[in-house]
Chains A and B, each alone.
Chain A
Amino acid sequence: MDITQIKSLITKSRILTDAERAYWSASLSKMNGGQMQRLESILQKAEQIPWTQHIQQFFSIITTAAEKVA
């Protein structure tokens, strides 16, 4: 199991908040091989989602605008 690779995925993940990155980094030492494999698989799959900063910001604007539209 390449922990460096998982740490890199955690750091780069666009679907995690800073707090969640810290949480998963801290949790690695408690995880068994199977759990690490699942984490790696989930984050690799998420990496394929074009969840860019602009899209995230756009959602933030939508939320604000939607309140006005409603």
Chain B
Amino acid sequence: MSGSNPSSQASPNPSPEDNDRQVQIDTVQKELQELKTAIEVPEGSGRVTAINKAAEELSNAMKPILSLSEEDRNEKEVALIKEILNDSKVETVLRDLIERVGTSRTDLQGLAAEVNAGDLTNELAAMEGNPENASTSFVVSFLANVDSVLKKFSSNDSLGERGKGFAQMMHNAMSQFVLATLEKFSSISFFGQKASLLSEVDKMALAKRRLEEDRATLDVYPAVKKKYKESVHDPLFFKAYSAWIVAQKVERPTLISIVNSNGAPSTVASNAEAEKKSDVFPDDGIERIVSDGDDIKVVLGSLSINLKKNDVLFKSGDLETKCNFVRSNSKLSVQKITRGVEEDTVAGNFKIFVDDNFFTFDELNEVFDKVKEGNSRKLITNTGIYLEKIVTA
């Protein structure tokens, strides 16, 4: 992204290109203003039709923006986007679309979990951050607002003391609904990537909040609560718990079941991973290890993957990363398409992060087909392409 742009500065003699670009932005702004005035989002039966119509008009209005080069996206465009986002009617349309796409994708995840064992999305397991420092984050401020509303509601409970009665029951139900909605929101992905609609801090805040809610369920199980108190001090506990929350499992385990599965968060993640692998990799008598084989090197375009005896070298342009294998069911996986290589320390596997603007799925597929020829096999799942180097016993 360019840090400066001539048209954004006080230039006495703008170039013809700058003039053209300014005209383009002005046109977009004008069209959007007209559209914003025209959008109507009624409640009731005509809502979906109205939103669909508005979305199509919005889509057409976006075309000129999308034709701008990346270098041209300077503060004027940011201001334009900000203006769009600040318009409630446009936001209503966009959020409605996100929710509907999110619902469909959640339904698909549920079906995938039934057809194949659902994969635990580990990509967020390594997230870091301190939600306490994020006063401006979306989830933190949203939850604070919800708290404020629900607190008033709860305090009006005329049926009994706080913590009991109909109002408290509604409070709890609403709180669960809000959390479920936010969790669904965090699961939406665009172009195969997790949407940044919720920041890492948001996700942590969400997980923390869910943990608080779930913890209340332990009150009726003193023995489990005692065990929870012991394991919660393990620094990995919250990390693994967060992974569970954001993974959007259709059958998310309860805190009780997590604590009862020996409490240790690493055990929780490992159990889920083992469950997944036992389904993806059937017990067919093939020993799967990544070692003792010949080196395999595959080069395609600017991406090269070199599988060695105990490590793997990824090279893409100036990016060169060497990773050591962790011998845990020996699987090399591509789970998220973005740039870089990261070690998934929770599951003990590797995730290769490749920018899909650089490499298309077909290109990566071709790479793995070539690797496969070297005594490996390729598996495609809903989270990406999995590679496994096989050495028969």
Give the interface of A toward B (CB within 8 A).
15-20, 22-24, 26-27, 30-31, 35, 38-39, 42-43, 45-46, 48-52, 54-70
Contact = CB atoms under 8 A, between A and B. Distances in A.
Candidate in B63, B81, B98, B361 with the most chain A CB atoms within 10 angstroms? B81
B371 to A, nearest CB: 17
A30 B244 CA distance: 27
Interface of B: 1, 52, 55-56, 58-60, 62-63, 65-66, 73, 75, 77-78, 81-82, 85, 94, 97-98, 100-101, 104-105, 107-108, 111-112, 114-116, 136, 189-192, 195-197, 337, 360-362, 365, 380-385
Given A18-B192, A50-B56, A52-B55, A35 B111 contact: yes
Nearest to B98: A59
B97 A60 contact: no
A51 B195 contact: no
A19 B192 contact: yes
B361 A22 contact: yes
Prevailing SS type, chain A contact patch: helix
A10 to B, nearest CB: 10
Contacts, number: 127
Contacts of B136: 70
Nearest to B55: A50
B196 A67 contact: yes
Given A18-B192, A45-B104, A55-B97, A31 B115 contact: yes
Contact of B81 (A15, A24, A50, A61): A61
16 contacts: A15-B105, A17-B361, A19-B384, A22-B365, A22-B380, A24-B108, A27-B112, A35-B111, A39-B108, A52-B59, A54-B59, A55-B94, A61-B81, A65-B81, A69-B78, A69-B82
